[in-house]
Chains A and B, each alone.
Chain A
Amino acid sequence: AQSVTQLDSQVPVFEEAPVELRCNYSSSVSVYLFWYVQYPNQGLQLLLKYLSGSTLVKGINGFEAEFNKSQTSFHLRKPSVHISDTAEYFCAVSDGGAQKLVFGQGTRLTINP
């Protein structure tokens, strides 16, 4: 069975500082990986996804993530955060065939001025 671990439940950073949100997964098959963002009282919006090819994936709002197969990780990074990035971030995995997404517990990113 697949699982996703987001190592930090909360990450506070100062505005314009860099940030990394960590995500590790376990799966016995090839996987597809996703990062979603959830703003307060809203649904989930896709930030980026890895299906195949280049291990560095660029997404919306200046975010990027790197797929590391040997470390089974898919960490999300942004070089300079803004107040508007305050939200909950979810890492998710799918084995493609099963279609369903398996989500991590989420990381709450708080940006301090």
Chain B
Amino acid sequence: NAGVMQNPRHLVRRRGQEARLRCSPMKGHSHVYWYRQLPEEGLKFMVYLQKENIIDESGMPKERFSAEFPKEGPSILRIQQVVRGDSAAYFCASSPPTRAADTQYFGPGTRLTVL
């Protein structure tokens, strides 16, 4: 059973460009979470999605950031008009469609560098 997959692993963008980060959850998992890890900091929750629904986006910046988890295909975290402060590691996690407190399984992350 493959783990959570994220691509690309490394992404370099210039200021003003768009960044698209992809996450394929573990097989059978329908819950996806995105976290951001700034240098020398812990992970900060961004958004929680189920198939075709955003459940909690309380950690998402109000502008430029969006996320989706379509019926088919991976979850996408999209950052428009990137700025240097967006440079970070972005981790995706998934969990099965059962009750709360299920373990979240993390992917290897996408390391975004904004030049």
Contacts and interface: CB of A to CB of B under 8 A. Distances in A.
- Contact residue range for chain A? 20 to 34
Contacts of A46: 103, 105
Interface stretch (B14-22, B39-47, B76-84): B39-47
A36 B48 CA distance: 19
Contacts of B69: none
A70 B100 CA distance: 24
Interface stretch (A14-22, A61-69, A79-87, A102-110): A102-110
Nearest to B111: A41
Contacts of A44: 43, 91, 93, 106
Contacts of A34: 103
Interface in B37-58: 41-45, 48, 55-56, 58
Contacts of A4: 42
Contacts of A94: 100-101
Given A100-B45, A100-B59, A42 B108 contact: yes
Contacts of B33: 99-101
A43 B4 contact: yes
A42 B59 CA distance: 23
A71 to B, nearest CB: 21
A20 to B, nearest CB: 19
B109 interface: yes
Nearest to B105: A46
B5 to A, nearest CB: 10
Contacts of A90: 42-43
Nearest to A50: B101
19 contacts: A6-B42, A32-B101, A34-B103, A41-B111, A44-B43, A44-B91, A46-B103, A90-B43, A92-B43, A99-B31, A99-B33, A99-B55, A99-B95, A100-B48, A100-B56, A100-B59, A101-B45, A102-B45, A104-B42
